[in-house]
Every structure is written in structure tokens, then in C-alpha cells.
Chain A
Amino acid sequence: KNQVEQSPQSLIILEGKNCTLQCNYTVSPFSNLRWYKQDTGRGPVSLTIMTFSENTKSNGRYTATLDADTKQSSLHITASQLSDSASYICVVSRGDYKLSFGAGTTVTVRA
């Protein structure tokens, strides 16, 4: 079954601190893995996309890693800001534009 598991379900961090979100998947075949940020009441916005051959990609303070062998990915947020409070969704594509979504990790950044 094509599944995407994210952890933790939620976390609270202080402004300025770093955090790491995890994503494990069993999706096959694998085309690419995406991390999206979804603000409350809004649609998801793409942060990073990684294909099989890529094991790290950065977008500002967001750095995603991918280990295709162990089928694990992480999203690291550096020097968190209040605006980082959102749900972060790990999405795996099978290459046919069928996407498997994780349930997301809700990040709350507090001053």
C-alpha cells in the first residue's frame, strides 16, 4: 500500500530555534518527494521537490533531505520564525501525477 507517515504529529518550538520533521514512505514506484507548507485555511505551497538522485535540497531556511534507500525524508527548519507556524506535508509522487499525502506535522512557533 502506498503510504506516507509523518512524525511528529505536532510540535511547539520557540522562535529562533531549529526543528526537524520526519517522513517515512512506502510508495512505489518512486518518482519524487515534495514538502509543502500549508497555512491554516489555505492551499499547500511547495517548498522543495527531490528526485531519486537528490539527497538534499534547500529553500531559504528550509532544508529537506532524502534517503531513497531507507525511504525516509526530513525537513529541517532553521532559526524558526512566527510565520513558520503551519502544517508541513510530505507528498510522494509515483510519477503518474498520483500523489500520496502524509497527514502533516503541525508546527507552532511561539515568541
Chain B
Amino acid sequence: GAVVSQHPSWVICKSGTSVKIECRSLDFQATTMFWYRQFPKQSLMLMATSNEGSKATYEQGVEKDKFLINHASLTLSTLTVTSAHPEDSSFYICSVKSSGTGIGQPQHFGDGTRLSIL
């Protein structure tokens, strides 16, 4: 079954709206979650690393005031796209670092949220 649940799966909204995306770890407690963005025909790009109980770490070029991340519990991280504009339209995917140790542990990805800003 699914290890990571992402909600909603698809959002269409007007320009200027703020949109919240939830990422839940279903099988284990996750101190670290990752948020990615994927444009059509392109690879996933890491936006930020979400750390439970502390501030998220953003990748270079990602506006932290634009993409608000909250990781308030060990099973939930949220990404809020504030004042979204058409150029923010993309496929947003979260992933959870496996609870196991060792270098061969996979990341488990959610099914993504397709965000369309009109």
C-alpha cells in the first residue's frame, strides 16, 4: 500500500490565491520530508527539505516566503504556495526519507499534486 499520501491530487485556482498541499507519512514517523517540483518533460527539482520541529531548508533560487513549509508533526508536512501565479503551475511531489538506516534506503514519493493557476 501507499507509504506517502499527498492531498489534493489536483488543484485549479485563480491567480493570487494561496494553495496548501499536504504530505502525510502513513507507515512511519518522518523527521525529514522533501518537496519537489516537476515541469513537463523535465526531471524533479528539489525545492526544500522539511524538518520536523524546525525551519525548512530551501534550495538556491526557491523563495521561502513564496513556498511556505510547515512540518508540525512527524507524519505531516505542508507546502503553501502563497499568492500563486500562472508560472507556479507545476507538478509538486513530496517524498519521505525511509525510517531505515544505511545508505541503500529508498525515498518514498507521494503521488503528486498538479497545480494549475489560471
Using a CB–CB cutoff of 8 Å, the interface residues on chain A facing chain B are 4, 31-32, 34, 36, 41-46, 49, 51, 89, 93, 95, 97-99, 101-104
CA distance A79 to B46 in the complex (A): 34
**A44 to B111 alpha-carbon distance, docked (Å):** 8
Task: List 7 A-B pairs, minimum CB-CB distance, nearest first.
Answer: A43-B109, A101-B43, A46-B106, A103-B43, A43-B111, A101-B44, A44-B109
Interface residue tally for chain B (C-beta within 8 Å): 25
Main secondary structure of the interface of B (DSSP, over half): strand
Hey, which chain A residues are within 8 Å of B34, CB to CB?
97
Interface residues in chain B, defined as those with a beta carbon under 8 Å from any beta carbon in chain A: 4, 6, 32, 34, 41-46, 49, 91, 93, 95, 97, 103-104, 106-112, 114
A–B Cβ pairs within 8 angstroms, 27 of them: A4-B43, A31-B103, A32-B104, A36-B109, A41-B91, A41-B111, A41-B112, A42-B112, A43-B6, A43-B95, A43-B109, A43-B110, A43-B112, A44-B44, A44-B93, A46-B107, A46-B108, A51-B103, A51-B104, A89-B43, A89-B44, A93-B103, A97-B32, A97-B49, A97-B107, A98-B46, A103-B43
